[in-house]
Amino acid sequence: MNIKYIAFYDIDEYEFENRVNPLSARNVSDYIVKKLISEGHNVEIVSPSETKLRKGYYKSRSNLYDGVRVTLGPTWGTQNKYLRSFFSLLTRAWFLVYLLVNVKSSDVIILWHQIPAMELIMLFRLITHKRNEFILCVGEIYQKVIPNMISERRKKRELKFISSADKYILSTLGIKKYVNIENRPIVELPGMLNTLANRKRIFNDSRIHILYSGVINSTKGAFEAVDMMDYLDDRYVLHILGWGQDIDSIDRLIDHINSKHDHKKIVYEGIKRGGEYEDYLLSCDIGLCSQDQNVAYNDCSFPSKILTYLCANIKVICTNIPAVKESAVADMIYFVDSNSPFELAEAVRKVSFLPAPDTRIKMGELDDVIERELNSLIVKR
């Protein structure tokens, strides 16, 4: 089967181009693509990703990478907002033309749901009269996550678009509450399920190492995780791995809390990828998912970091998020009623001394199930 996998994507070799390439989406996309290739499918990743740089021209390219062809269009960096809009149109025009020329009617299209790509695929399907089988990967419904950044018209268009696919890969079945997709094939895939083998720890001490990994903003729980360290003694150290618009603010908070203690309790580690990220995972004892349990998207968005923690055999503390509590991994997670720093600290103290079964065993079993379901989703007409 020939598959065109569409997502905002890039590979590490071209990191200097700084194209739009959401890390969590990329990790899950890599997992899906590798599973499809292992079943003998021919996969090409096509990305309309644009540079975030303010200058420079980066040409279109098509590379083989780990057995997958990755194709990206041309992109231009600029400080001028009008030129930025114009260059964006050029990249998207390239993307549409590329699909029209290179996608055969027998090809399967898999799209990672993102608003800009959504609108391009809508146009492609309109031009081609929806001739290709269309599988939609939905990690989150954007109007639930960023409601103030999406117009009412685009919100309606998003729900209509999600409802138009033939088959689905959903991060959580909670998404079904908002779109009419009954009686269509669905695979529930909260995130990647690549279990990690033990290797030498980075940290050569007797301290308990806690990890927060992910987006750094006001709702995801990074600030609460940092404040939590005021309630824990010097046996504990927190590592923050992440990205976002609030890096400067969290750096200041980290410096403030560290200044009150004799030992450095919190370290911002930046972004880690590949083997370096895996080393950090395998060197930590507890993983936090401390996002606000009251935000509107909690029933239709699964925090994929949880699976990453479990695949590294880290004890996981998570707030009462419906999508997580209703998932297949709920029995491996320690839930807390709120993300208040004090309550998180209490949970960390309790969890630190509890025996932990090897969560990788169950994650491996879940991985086998997902692989069979993904293959069935592709071949079943």
What residue segments make up the domains of the chain, in order of their start? 2-188, 208-359
Q: What is the pLDDT of residue 310?
A: 94
CATH topology of domain 208-359: Rossmann fold (3.40.50)
Residue type, 34: K
Q: What span, in angstroms and rounded, lies between the C-alpha atoms of 244 and 63?
A: 29
Q: What span, in angstroms and rounded, lies between the C-alpha atoms of 105 and 72?
A: 21
Q: What span, in angstroms and rounded, lies between the C-alpha atoms of 168 and 186?
A: 5
Neighbours of 331 (CB within 10 A): 8
327: which DSSP letter? S
Residue type, 221: G
Q: What is the pLDDT of residue 244?
A: 81
Q: What span, in angstroms and rounded, lies between the C-alpha atoms of 329 and 107?
A: 34
From residue 117, give the alpha-carbon distance in Å to each of 81, 261, 368. 20, 47, 30
Q: Looking at the predicted structure, is the pLDDT value of residue 140 above 80?
A: yes
Q: What span, in angstroms and rounded, lies between the C-alpha atoms of 93 and 86?
A: 11
Q: What is the pLDDT of residue 102?
A: 96
List the structure tokens of 303.
């925090």
What pairing do the DSSP bridges indicate for beta strands 57-58 and 75-76?
antiparallel
CATH topology of 2-188 equal to that of 208-359? yes
CATH topology of domain 2-188: Rossmann fold (3.40.50)
From residue 201, give the alpha-carbon distance in Å to each of 258, 272, 310. 24, 16, 17
| Angle subtended at Cα 255 by Cα 250 and Cα 259, rounded to the nearest 5 degrees | 150
Proportion of the chain in helix, strand, coil states, percent, rounded to 5: 45, 20, 35
Q: Percent of the chain beyond pLDDT 90?
A: 72
What is the rounded average pLDDT of the residues 185-195?
91
Beta bridge partners of 100: none
Neighbours of 288 (CB within 10 A): 31
Average pLDDT, the chain: 92
130: which DSSP letter? S
3-state DSSP call for residue 1? coil
Q: Looking at the predicted structure, is the pLDDT value of residue 381 above 70?
A: no
In this predicted model, what pLDDT tens digit does every residue of 110-120 receive, in sequence order?
999 998 899 99
**Best CA proximity match to 68, nearest among 35, 33, 96, 98:** 33
**Best CA proximity match to 117, nearest among 86, 177, 162, 74:** 162
298 close to 172: Cβ distance less than 8 angstroms: no
Burial class (CB in 10 A: 0-12, 13-18, 19+), 40: exposed
Q: What is the pLDDT of residue 380?
A: 56
From residue 173, give the alpha-carbon distance in Å to each of 53, 167, 302. 37, 13, 10
List the structure tokens of 124.
């492609």
301 close to 323: Cβ distance less than 8 angstroms: yes
Q: Looking at the predicted structure, is the pLDDT value of residue 335 above 90?
A: yes
Residue type, 354: L
Neighbours of 130 (CB within 10 A): 12
Burial class (CB in 10 A: 0-12, 13-18, 19+), 32: buried
Q: What span, in angstroms and rounded, lies between the C-alpha atoms of 158 and 144?
A: 11
In this predicted model, what pLDDT tens digit does every residue of 192-241 receive, in sequence order?
888 888 888 898 888 999 999 988 887 888 999 999 999 999 999 999 99
In this predicted model, what pLDDT tens digit does every residue of 37-92 receive, in sequence order?
998 999 999 999 999 999 999 999 999 988 899 999 999 999 999 999 999 999 99
User: For helices 81-102 and 115-128, what crossing angle results, to 10°?
Assistant: 40
Q: What is the pLDDT of residue 355?
A: 80
